[in-house]
Amino acid sequence: MNDYLAGLTTEAINPDTLMIDECTTEQMVQIMNQQDALVPAAVAKEVPHIAKAVDILHQSLANGGKMFYIGAGTSGRLGVLDASECPPTFGTDPSLVQGFIAGGDTALRNAVEGCEDNLEEGIALINEIGVTSKDVVIGISASGSARFVIGALTRARELGAKTIAVCNNKGSKLEPIVDVAIAPVVGPEVISGSTRLKAGTAQKLVLNMLTTCTMVKLGKTYNNLMVDLKASNIKLVDRSVRIIMRATGVDSTTASDTLTKASMNCKLAIMMIKTGLDAQEAEQQLAQHNGRLKEAIHAIMSS
């Protein structure tokens, strides 16, 4: 028996769910809901570490770096999910935030046993994807012991990249090899060792914070509006129109017409309406302010 694994909170038996197999359906659901309610408080305790990680990410991405999620199993899938949502949400290049899972893309749909134990594959992945000293690598592992993740983080650090860990146990094997360790301890799972439950939920909350707060700091929003979204389908075109209306106070026709003139660029349309500039002039001003809409508008209005 592995003493490290045996001592993990995520491997412990939950005394509050011992007799779950004798519960009614409603009782089971209530138990799970009660256990899930513990997760936000565990994440809240990690806010200082999460904030430190966001500042690292912001500094790196603002200076030409990239963000890489590396994980195995559920942890890896959550990283890939969070990364894949950044382009449609914030209009980022797909290469800016990337997610990788032990076992490759096949492991997104099917369990690929043993891959998380392969230290060398983690090292090889970092070399393959071209991590540099400008970048940030975030290792995700509920246990904090996945050798694939340890190998990736170790190699990333050797290359001078910043490293962050997201796990669900204190004193994990990841802590000594990262700049920041984020470890929301959610307690034993409803079903012993099933870390796709509370641990996975906590990880999802943390990853949401990392990308969302970083993108806000990079100027990807205007107030709390998703102004850099890609209007790539009917729903997102409609959302873009509503965002333009909310940000500028114009009617739907004006918002829609300006969005078309702005080549379906929501942020550019708002800039045009707010400043009276045409598309080319507005685009130039945005570029001068690194895409920061509020900053660009203030500069024009105060000149």
- The residues annotated with a catalytic role in the active site are 85, 116
Alpha-carbon distances of 223 from 136, 182, 291, rounded to whole Å: 26, 27, 14
Alpha-carbon distances of 102 from 123, 154, 204, 218, 253, rounded to whole Å: 11, 16, 18, 30, 49
Question: What are the structure tokens assigned to 245, written together?
Answer: 């209306």
3-state secondary structure of 222: strand
Residue 254 belongs to what H/E stretch? helix 252-261
Q: Which residue has the tokens 């690598």?
A: 137
State the amino acid at position 147 in one-letter form.
R
Residue 68 belongs to what H/E stretch? strand 67-71
State the amino acid at position 260 in one-letter form.
T
